[in-house]
Chains A and B, each alone.
Chain A
């Protein structure tokens, strides 16, 4: 599965590049870089949101779009299925020595938060996706859907997939290999000859 590795390296380098060692506190340096990463993820998600549903029938309502996000998109990107729409999403990360690197985790998640947000926005749903790392090898994604005409408040949607901790580990900055797919990498117009990438490019 060279594709997953390729994407991991790309993501690692992106984070390394955009995360300065000495951020300029006056300009809110770190926050700006996170939003750059998230914006990139958003754009990739938008492209995916166009390409993946191409073969499918039209979505009649919001529920269809959400079902697509949970089943098809998640399977395509992370090769794991979501259990259901409601419970909270957990996705395994592998860490060298857990607690020490908990601070490092959020910057990797910025890109991945942008992904679903982009896809949802292509499908017509404005949302806000946040992630939180509660424990060692688990991560929660929360998508808050903003309804334009709702003074009643925002319905919250938590996405879940059950996955155990990944046994393989490369170094402290890498995710578990199989969990990240190249679908996002393909959205960045990487013309790799591999069949999986070709599908999304």
Chain B
């Protein structure tokens, strides 16, 4: 479903980035990097918006011809970026939201691990497994 998932820290460096191995990974890294600008834009726009519209889920950041990029930001300014295949039209907004929610829960579990120092790369196997389960393609 998802082609690439990235967790970006507050200071905009990647804590975790994983893409499907069949594709050129560098392309996805670049897409995630460029999407950070859009995320920042959305966050500052949200700051000026009405109270009711404050949300953690940022929605579609930008579409390209093959892929769509979605974003989500937590209260601790950690960003999740997900790149999804455009050809998979069955994927609805709700499903993306639930995927982000799962990501957030797993990330919180990683944070609660006393052996994890905030700011390190995420090396948790449980987190890895959760991300892999979201990325398994339907052949």
Q: Which residues of A contact B111 (CB under 8 A)?
A: 46-47, 50-51
A31 at the interface (CB under 8 A from B): no
Q: Which residues of A contact B (CB under 8 A)?
A: 43, 46-47, 49-51, 53-54, 56-61, 65, 122-124, 186-189, 200-201
Q: Are A50 and B54 in contact (CB under 8 A)?
A: no
CA distance A54 to B100 in the complex (A): 12
Q: Are B54 and A58 in contact (CB under 8 A)?
A: yes
Given contacts A46-B111, A123-B75, A124-B10, contact A57 B47 (CB under 8 A): no
Main secondary structure, interface of B, reads loop
Q: Which residues of B contact A200 (CB under 8 A)?
A: 112
Q: Digit string of B97-116 for contact with A (CB within 8 Å is 1, else 0)? A: 00000001101100111100
CA distance A198 to B87 in the complex (A): 39
Q: Are B112 and A187 in contact (CB under 8 A)?
A: yes
B55 at the interface (CB under 8 A from A): yes
Q: Are B112 and A54 in contact (CB under 8 A)?
A: no
CB < 8 Å: which of A60, A124, A187 contacts B46? A60
Q: Are B112 and A124 in contact (CB under 8 A)?
A: no
Given contacts A46-B118, A59-B75, contact A51 B55 (CB under 8 A): no
